[in-house]
Structures are given as structure tokens and as C-alpha cells.
Amino acid sequence: MKEKPKKQDNELERLKTEKETLQQQVHALDTCLVSARVGLWDWDVAADHVVHHLNDFQLLGYDESLQNLSDEAWLAHIYPEGIRTVFTEVQETRDYSCEEFHFEFRVRNKHRETLWIDSKGKVVEWDDQGRPVRMIGSHKDVTLQKEYETRLKNTRSHLEALLKSFGGHSYVATIDYRLETLSEELIREIGFNAQGSCCHEALYGYDHPCPWCSMDQIMRGKNVAREFEHPQKKKWVCCIDTPVYHMDGKIFKKTSVIDRDRVFSTTGTSSKYLVSHLDSEKNKDRLRRKIAAHSTATGFNAIVGVSAPMKEVYELIVKAGQSNASVMIYGESGTGKELVARAIHSCSANIRDRFVTLNCGAIPSNLIESEFFGYARGAFTGADKDKTGYLKAADGGTLFMDEIGEIDLNLQVKLLRVIEGHGFHPIGSKDVERPVIRFITATHRDVFHLVRDGKMRQDFFFRINVFPIELPPLRERKEDIPLLVGHFLKVLNAPERLCPLPAEYMATFMAYDWPGNIRELQNLIHRYIAVGELDLTLMARESSSREDASPAGGGSPEVKNETRLKEIMQAYERRVLIDMLNTHRWKKKKVADILGINRKTLFEKIKKYKIK
């Protein structure tokens, strides 16, 4: 008999505990609903009776002491037009057995303030004939949201009015170049609503991001103002790009405003077309100030030279620094292409973090992809740790790729995707890396011939050749030779007895054509400092050896009537290589520099012609 009361006590204690837990949960739910400005209601459709929970009346400003307020009391707070909407939805629910409804209306709360209410309802019970019996739902205070929507509409209408007043266009694009919103003026200009299309394709007819695209700067939070030539209308336009931030602080869109009335006529297609709009006096003054800021007594930045051809190069360097376009530097071997690339990097409007150099011709073909893209641990035998490639190392900075003409077509396709912003996968990894890089390339080869012969993709060429700069060889700027000689004597720590250079040496230098350009001059000064004198007959022998190697020099191989042109050229090339290697005692680097080719190409030719 004693065990039964004990069991009953335990059961009562358990029920009491569960009741307290349930009350705590209900209180927590009510607190959440009040904080979220949400009220609940329960509608008995058959009896046409609505029960409003306490939190539903709290939306209207009543406190917790409220007891037994009816549905009619709640309805009395609704504006007249809202009453009509409520009764319409109720009638449709009864007559057509609607499963749910959702609408908005205005109410006036206890303090005579106007609120917007979002009402949702859903049928949870049906009778045997399929008619609704019970519906539950919620009321949510969306007044603040409505205020924001109104402000947004007003702001949009003000912006559209401003755009119309100055005759411009505007659009919003995502970071993957998809158009999200276009102004009415822009839609009329292009003839259709291009929402969802790529901005470069719909607006400018490109199948790749525009050469002047500023998306990488936008992703770093920069506002970018730029001018460019419209590829279809052949007019210069001004465009201002601004980043759009998400609630989490990340950039996920950009807005662009295009001033269609600020145009500059252009004629022809000069190699400097990207910077021809800087011809106004104001921009000329700005350009001169920029050049003066980087100029030295002997040249510009770390470049030595004050000749007219080099002054033109300095102007292009400054203009390239103001642009974000890919730069292609042309010039013979030894003309200082890397120095120009570094000068462009230092002149950039937003100086980037790092400058990474890469000689494409010096990397073996079986390693070049891992050097560019890096690899993940375990990607192949021997990959015992992750390796960062050149592309990742240059993230946020400038990547200078020398001898760009040496990379194969397969690698060009992968680099093209990186340049266009699609990113890359490190070898053995599924992660996508999207580095933000300023690309500068250089070559001594005729790139147009490479494209014509199918050794360089045309689309790849177009993306890297946006801003071309051509460096003059030393023979075309001989007035800079005295400055260069003085510079090398200083940096190579020449003893005082060797300074300045004797007049007969300088006269010989001025008469020499310098096929190896500045690098050959530097090597000669180095030899002069090491030995203490120069053998001028050596320079004469080098000149005569080049004359002997020329077609007019009588060194041509024997040509038979049935010999093909290709065989003639190969035989002649083999003869020239043998003569140059023997003349320079098989110093392959020097021979490659004189011939204007890289060492890798020279090694391949030695192997091809079996020269020993």
C-alpha cells in the first residue's frame, strides 16, 4: 500500500516538471515572436471565430495585462481598404477552398501610429467534403521594410532623373559580368532588355570581358573612373564604376554610369589608341607632372636615357600606369623590357603589393604548368607539400611574363581563362583560385607572325596586347650611350683610374651598332673594369662576323636547282649557328643574346642540326 502513493507522487512530480518545461518553452516562443514583431491567430472557419494570441494584440501596442479582446476589436484597427482585402480573402477561402493566402494591409495601433502588416494563413484541417475547417496564420509588422522600399524607390527615381538630365546610361552587373539592372535609356540605346546577359557581349559585342574592364579594382573596393573607345561606335565615352556591398561586407556587384555625351572623335587605329584621349591640355599637364615625379637626372625611374625615343616610352609608361589594361612590351633582347615593366608597376594609380617576374622561355615544358598554377600535396609522386604557383604569388600585384611567345597553345588557353577572371585549379586540387593580377608581358619575337602561323591563339593575343609599348634598340638612341656608360661605371664600382671612359673607346661605342643592345654594353663595361682596358679589335671582329654571316657575305650554302626553300634556309641557319658558336667559343648565352633568341631556343636548334 505504501508503494502506490510513492508512484503517484513520482508521476505528479514528472508531470509538474514537464508542465514547467512547456511553460518555459511557450514563454521563450512568445519572447521571440514579440522581438520579431510577429503575432499568431487561429481561425475556426466553420464557426467563423478567430482567436488572436496575446502577441498579436501586442503588435497594436497593448500590454500583457490585456485579456479577452475579440476579433472585432482587432479588425477595428484596420484601415478601410484593408478591411475589404481581408473579407475578400476570407470569402475566397470559404467559397473556393483556398489552401493558403498572403497579403498586406495597413493598421492604426493604439497610439494612432500607422503600421504595415504582412498577413499569412494556411488551412490545417479539412472536412469530409474537402472544405476548410481550421486555418492558422501570422501577422508580421513590416513597417520598417516598407519604409526602406519607399526610400529605395524614391532614390531610384531621383537617380533616373539625374541620369536623364545629363543624358547618360547606367547598369548593375554581378562579379561574373551578368547584367542585373539596366536603365531605360540604356535599354532604348541597345534595342532590347539585356538582363541576364554578359555586359561585355550585350553592350560592346565582345565574347570576353572588355579590355578596359575594372572588375579586379572593383573587387578591392575601388571606385574607378575611366575613358575608353566604344568598339562599335568608334567614340570615346566616360564610365564610372562603383562597388556594391552585401550585408556581410563582401562586394558582389558593381554599378556603372556611362556618360554618352562626353565623347571624343577618333580617326584610324593607332597603336596608342587607349591613351589618345589624354590630348586635352589638362591631361597633358597631369601627364607632365607624373613624368616629372618619376624622372631623374639621367632618365626615368630606374631606366637610363633622355633621348627623344625614350621620352615617348616614358609617356606610355605613365599612361599605362593610369590604366588597368594588360601591357605588351616589344623590343629586341637586351633593351630593358623588365625595367619598363617595373616602372609601369611603380607608376600604377593604385600601387600594387608585389611585382613577380617569370621568364617563360627558361622553364622546361614538363614543369611550366606546375610553375604557373602550383600544385596540391599528393598531386603526383614527390609532391609532399603544397606549392604556390606564380599566379597565386602575384595575387594583388603585377605578374611580368617575359618571352611570352615561348608558351604552347594548351597553356595559352588556361592563362586566357585566368586573365578573363574565371580562375584556375592548382594541379591536384578542386579549389578554384581567382587571383587579381595586373598582367604585363614581353617578347622580342614578331607576335603577329606567331598568330598567323598558329603558334599563338588570336584571342590570347588580343587579351595581352591591349596596351602595346615598343622599346627602341640601342642603335636608335645612341645619344644615351654616354649616360649608360657612366651609369654602369658607377653601379659596377669602377676604380677612379678608369673613369671617365677614354675618348677613343667612346667614339668606337658611338659607331658600333650594338646588336646585343644595353646588355652587350653592360657586359663590355664589366669586362673593361675587370681587365682595365678594352680590345677594340674584338668589336670589329664581331661586326665582321655578322657581316660574314649575312646573305650578302658570300657564306651561303651551295644551292642546287632541286633544293627547296625550307632546306636552303635550314642549311643557312646551321652555317650561321656554327660560325657564331665558334667565334664566341661556344658561349651559348652570349650567342643567344647576339642572335636575339633565348637560350632554350638556341639549345633546341643545336640539337635539331646536330651541331657539336
- Bigger pLDDT: 561 or 534? 534
The answer on 178 and 125 residing in a single domain is: no
Residue 111 lies in a domain: yes
pLDDT, position 550: 47
Residues 97, 222 within the same domain: no
- Report if residue 99 sits inside a domain: yes
Question: What is the model's pLDDT at position 440?
Answer: 94
> Does some domain include residue 488?
no
| The pLDDT of residue 279 is above 50 | no
Query: pLDDT of 85-103, one tens digit each?
Result: 888 887 777 776 677 888 8
pLDDT of residue 272 exceeding 70, the answer is no
| Contact (Cβ atoms closer than 8 angstroms) between residue 133 and residue 126 | yes
The residue behind cell 617569370 is 358
Average pLDDT over residues 96-123: 85
Q: Could you report the per-residue pLDDT of 223-261, keeping only the tens digit for each? A: 887 777 788 777 777 788 888 887 777 887 888 877 654
Residues 575, 527 share a domain? yes
C-alpha of 186 from chain center: 24
Beta bridge partners of 469: 329
Tell me, what CATH number does 327's domain have? 3.40.50.300
Output the pLDDT for position 263.
Answer: 41
Residue 467: exposed, middle, or buried by beta-carbon count in 10 A (0-12, 13-18, 19+)? buried
Whether residue 317 sits in one domain with residue 205: no
Q: Is residue 479 part of a domain?
A: no
| 406-442: burial string, b at 16+ Cβ within 10 Å, e else | bbeeebbebbbebbbbeebebbbbeeebebbbbbbbb
Q: Looking at residue 165, what is its pLDDT?
A: 61
Reference 117, options 160, 78, 88, 147; nearest CA is 78
Asked whether residue 270 is domain-assigned, the answer is no
Q: Could you write out the DSSP letters of every residue in 319-333?
A: HHHHS-S-EEEE--T
Report the CATH number that the domain containing residue 203 is assigned in CATH: 3.30.450.20
Tell me the per-residue pLDDT of 164-187, one tens digit each, with 9 for 90 and over: 665 567 888 998 889 988 888 788
**pLDDT above 80 for 28:** no
Say if 264 falls within a structural domain.
no
Per mean pLDDT, which range of 10-19, 188-197, 383-392 is the poorest? 10-19
pLDDT value at residue 468: 92
Same domain, 250 and 166: yes
Residues 516 and 544 in one domain: yes
Taking only the tens place, the pLDDT of each residue in 144-164 is 888 888 888 888 777 767 666
350 confidence band (pLDDT: 50, 70, 90): low
* pLDDT value at residue 283: 58
The total domain count for the chain is: 5
pLDDT at position 472 is: 93
Note the pLDDT of residue 335: 93
Dihedral (CA of 176, 182, 185, 189) sign: positive
Query: How many C-beta neighbours within 10 Å does residue 46 have?
Result: 13
Lowest mean pLDDT among 225-234, 264-273, 295-304, 401-410: 264-273
Mean pLDDT for the stretch of residues 554-583: 66
Q: What pTM did the predictor assign?
A: 0.48
Taking CA atoms, 63 is separated from 50, 57, 109, 138, 365, in Å, by 20, 8, 12, 19, 78
Same-domain status, 516 and 591: yes
Specify whether 63 is located in the same domain as 23.
no
- The C-alpha cell that represents 408 in the structure block: 604552347
**Which stretch of DSSP H or E encloses residue 183?**
none
Q: What is the pLDDT of residues 388-439, one digit of tens each?
A: 999 999 888 899 999 999 999 999 999 998 988 888 989 988 888 888 888 9
| pLDDT score recorded for residue 400 | 94
pLDDT range class, residue 12, cuts 50, 70, 90: confident
More confident residue, 480 or 249: 480
Q: For residues 546 and 520, state if they share a domain.
A: yes
How high does pLDDT run on average in the chain?
A: 80
Of residues 593 and 26, more confidently modeled? 593
Residues 282 and 413 in one domain: yes
Range of the domain at 405: 278-470
Looking at residue 561, what is its pLDDT?
47
| Residue at a domain's end among 141, 176, 191 | 141
Lowest mean pLDDT among 46-55, 296-305, 313-322: 46-55
Residue 489 domain-assigned (yes or no)? no
Residues 365 and 430 in one domain: yes
Confidence band of 13 (pLDDT split at 50, 70, 90): confident
- 322 lies in the same domain as 425: yes
Tell me, yes or no, whether 443 lies in a domain.
Answer: yes
Distance of alpha carbon 374 from alpha carbon 114, whole angstroms: 61
E strands present in 34-113:
38-44, 49-52, 100-108
Q: Which of 105, 98, 144 is nearest to 121 (CA)?
A: 98
